[in-house]
Amino acid sequence: MGNVSRLWIALFLTLAAAFLSAPGGWTQQLDTASNSRLPATKQAEPPVLPPAAPVPAQIIAGRRAFVSNLGADTSLIHPDHYSGGPDRAYNQFYAAMKSWGRYELLPAPAGADLILALTWVAPPGPSDVTHGNGGSWRDPQFRLTIVDPATHTVLWAFTEHLEAQGRTHDQGFDQAMTRIVDDLKKLAGPPPAASAPGN
C-alpha cells in the first residue's frame, strides 16, 4: 500500500474518531434530521366560548315573589340525620329570602312576579360495588326552580348537594342552603332602581 493511501486512511480514521467523540455525535445528527422531517406541532388554541345568554327578564325586573314548598322526600333523606324536620329547608330558605330583601315575599302566588319553588330530595347517587358487596347511596340535594306564574314556565333552576364529608349533617345542610341562596343572588342581582315620581 502506497504512502498516499495510508495517509488517506489515517485522515479518515482521525475525522471519524473526532465526529463520534463530539457531544451528541451521530445520534444528534440523526435526531436533527429526523425532527426536520416531522410536521410542526400546532399549539392548541383555547375554545371560543359563546357570549352569555340573557337571564329571563322576570328574574331581573321582578319585585314580588312567592316561595313555594315542594316538600322533602323524607323516606330517602333519613330525617333523623337532620334537625328541624322535613320543613326545615322551606323555613330556612324563606328566612334567607326575607333577610335578603331583594323580593317582596307574598303570602299567595296571585300578584307575584316569580315563584321560587324549593324541594329537598335524595335521588340515588353513584354506585360502589366490590366483589358483589355494596351499592348506591343517596345524594341529598336542594333544587330551586324559578317559575313564571303567568305562564307556568320554568325560567331557571339550581341544584346544590348536601355534602357531609368532614362535617355534621346539619353543617352540610346549612352550607348547601347558603350556596343555593347565593346562586339566586348572583343571578338576580340588585333590585331594579325605583322609578322617579311621575315617570
Identify the residue whose cell numbers are 366490590: 130
Specify the pLDDT at position 90: 97
Helix (H, G, I), strand (E, B) or coil at 111: coil
Q: What is the pTM of this model?
A: 0.70
Q: Using the predicted structure, report yes or no on whether residue 27 has a pLDDT greater than 70.
A: no
Q: Using the predicted structure, report yes or no on whether residue 67 has a pLDDT greater than 60.
A: yes
| Minimum mean pLDDT range among 112-126, 131-145, 171-185 | 131-145
- Choose between 195 and 170: higher pLDDT: 170
Specify the pLDDT at position 58: 94
Average pLDDT over residues 91-106: 97
| Minimum mean pLDDT range among 37-46, 159-168, 179-188 | 37-46
Model confidence at 78, pLDDT cuts 50, 70, 90, reads low
DSSP 126-146: EEEEETTEEEEEE--EEEEEE
Helix (H, G, I), strand (E, B) or coil at 113: coil
Model confidence at 30, pLDDT cuts 50, 70, 90, reads very low
Q: Using the predicted structure, report yes or no on whether residue 45 has a pLDDT greater than 50.
A: yes
Q: Does domain 57-126+136-188 have CATH number 3.30.160?
A: yes
Mean pLDDT of the chain, nearest integer: 81
- Choose between 171 and 193: higher pLDDT: 171
Burial environment of residue 175 by CB neighbours within 10 A (0 to 12, 13 to 18, 19 or more): middle
DSSP 65-85: EEEEEEEE-HHHH-GGGSSS-
Specify the pLDDT at position 199: 52
